[in-house]
Structure 1
Amino acid sequence: MKDVLITSEGDNELRKRVSSAGENLGHLSLSKDDLLSSLEELAKCLQEVKQSPSHLIQNAIALTVNSLGEHRLLRRPKNEVRLVVSNCLSEIIRITVPEIPYKDDIMKEVLQLIVESLHGLHDDKDPTFNRRTKNLDIMARTRSFVLMLDLHYDELILQMFQCLIAEIRKRHPNKLKTDMFDILSMILDENDTVCKQLRYNLLDIWRTKLHVSATAYDFARSFIELKIEKFREQLTSEELVMWGLQVSPSL
């Protein structure tokens, strides 16, 4: 009984914090600094919310979901605000998966904003680096990218691939590289339409080495080596010859 009471009191305190931060977002007259402060507080609160939260927390989150889905936040021009909005939205998706928190048209903008936040991962000294890696971590852990597949946002998936290839660096933590690897691997396993273009992109990087860093090339090579047998199964005989994969399993 004591444990239940403690949990209830904890939920009530978190509910108040989430509700307060969500209500603050509804004030149209907020300055940029006040808006940023409210969003940062909301992001902290949402990080404390577990999946399948209590009804008390769910009710508080409902107001937040509506506020974050408004165009005035999704289309905010200031990059620092957009990044923290993407953190909040990533947490909302984490909490609600496998349910989709928004209608399709809003969901597309939400996912675009999260993919946009991955630009900048190359600079691990930037103050925003941890916010960007948090979004990537949530995407990998919850497989929220599957929403892009379910909603047939193939172009957005390809944009994400190009972004990850452009941003990866040798000095990155292994966890970050593993998240990138896992996301692309699962996408290739999930979707036939988009994975064909992704295979071509990976193979093109491997064969030409053009317009990519040495780390991106090593990433593509490692990926192909791991998936080589599957690639051979999925490519036509003409494509195998074109990519030079028909003779030896060694790259």
Structure 2
Amino acid sequence: MTFGDIMAQLQRMDAHLDTLFTELYQVNIHVSRIARWQALEASPPPPLVGSDSEAEDDDDVEKLLAYVEQEPSKSMRDALLPSVKALITNKLLRHAEMDVKVSVLSCIIEIVRITAPDALYKDKQMKVSFQLILAVIEDMSNVSTSSYKKVVSILDTIANVKLCLVMLDLECNALVVEMFQSFLKIIRSNHPPTVLSAIDIIMNLVIDESEDISLGLLSSLFAIVRKANQNVSPISWTLGEQIITRINAQLEKIMAPTQKLPSKVE
């Protein structure tokens, strides 16, 4: 490659970044307007240029954020800050419509992915986001909802960036138990492989990185692997059995060897 070719490529990259910054600027403006609209309960803001509906508007925001790579430059981080602040408002996080919650959470998860391992959100804000994740997971039992694909993408991102480990760092023990209960409750054979894989990764990450296993989590696992549940929910039963097998060695840290869980449920 000649020097001229390199310079031409750099110029194209600069032009591409300029375009991306412009798009992010539009996103920041629109997300801020959505937040103000929610706070004032006014008429919804007009969509971004080229969008035909508010639903497409939300998709535009998420697609633009999904396009940003990890470890962004300082200028890129600065461009994201207005969206970071706007998305974490109570009016958006506690919106009555599940589709809005899913769209907001999708954007938050993308921002966490982009800036990992640095945290732009405070601990308290992350805990609120985790509560929203649980609410969204509970809604996954219906695969026909309009936001289902977004939730699948959210789970996949959580697994890939190991966001679930932040729950352990923040000592969100009750939320971890609730998350496991939700997974074991909603998992069914009609979910795509991506969902099953993400759930498996998340649960195993939490188990592997936990210093101990809470009684609440153990109770959830015992309840799901009862013999009576094997026919009622075979996938949940199998997943619970696999998790018990995985944590068997770690349970030795908090239980006497004679109390160690069996690798198979009789």
Alignment check: 8 A CA contact 1:94 1:142 kept: yes
Q: Which runs of 5+ in 1 are unaligned?
A: none
- Structure 1 residue 94: deviation in Å? 0.7
Moved more, 207-216 or 73-82: 207-216
Out of 6, 20, 29, which is 1:23 matched to?
29
The SS at the match of 1:21 is: helix
Are 1:129 and 2:142 matched, yes or no?
A: no
Alignment check: 8 A CA contact 2:98 2:136 kept: no
| Distance 1:231-1:18 versus aligned 2 partners, 3 A rule | same
- Structure 1 residue 129: deviation in Å? 1.5
Out of 201, 209, 223, which is 1:190 matched to?
209
Alignment check: 8 A CA contact 1:73 1:82 kept: yes
The SS at the match of 2:138 is: coil
For 1:216, the equivalent position in structure 2 comes to 236
Moved more, 193-202 or 177-186: 193-202
Are 1:147 and 2:161 matched, yes or no?
A: no
Write out aligned runs for 1:41-52 (5 A).
41-52=60-71
- Structure 1 residue 37: deviation in Å? 4.5
**What amino acid maps onto 2:44 in structure 1?**
S
Moved more, 148-157 or 118-127: 118-127
- Structure 1 residue 195: deviation in Å? 4.8
Note the alpha carbon deviations across 1:44-81, whole angstroms, 9 max, x for none: 10010010123332221111101112222112222111
For 1:10, the equivalent position in structure 2 comes to 16
**What amino acid maps onto 1:77 in structure 2?**
A
Moved more, 112-121 or 14-23: 112-121
**What amino acid maps onto 1:137 in structure 2?**
D
Give the whole-Å Cα distance in 1 for the aligned partners of 2:112 and 2:163. Answer: 7
| Distance 1:32-1:204 versus aligned 2 partners, 3 A rule | farther
Write out aligned runs for 1:52-71 (5 A).
52-71=71-90
**What amino acid maps onto 2:107 in structure 1?**
C
Alignment check: 8 A CA contact 1:154 1:194 kept: no
- The number of aligned residues is 245
**What amino acid maps onto 1:21 in structure 2?**
V
Moved more, 124-133 or 43-52: 124-133
Provide the TM-score with structure 2 as the length reference.
0.82
After superposition, the CA RMSD in angstroms is: 2.5
Q: Which runs of 5+ in 2 are unaligned?
A: 1-6, 38-42, 48-53
Are 1:77 and 2:72 matched, yes or no?
A: no
Task: Give aligned-pair identity as a percent.
Answer: 23
Alignment check: 8 A CA contact 1:90 1:138 kept: yes
| Distance 1:97-1:209 versus aligned 2 partners, 3 A rule | farther
Note the alpha carbon deviations across 1:150-178, whole angstroms, 9 max, x for none: 11111111111111111101232223212
Alignment check: 8 A CA contact 1:52 1:96 kept: yes
Write out aligned runs for 1:167-206 (5 A).
167-206=186-225
Provide the TM-score with structure 1 as the length reference.
0.86
- Structure 1 residue 205: deviation in Å? 2.0
Give the whole-Å Cα distance in 1 for the aligned partners of 2:70 and 2:213. Answer: 29
- Structure 1 residue 237: deviation in Å? 4.0
**What amino acid maps onto 1:10 in structure 2?**
H
Give the whole-Å Cα distance in 2 for the aligned partners of 1:6 and 1:168. Answer: 46
Moved more, 60-69 or 19-28: 19-28
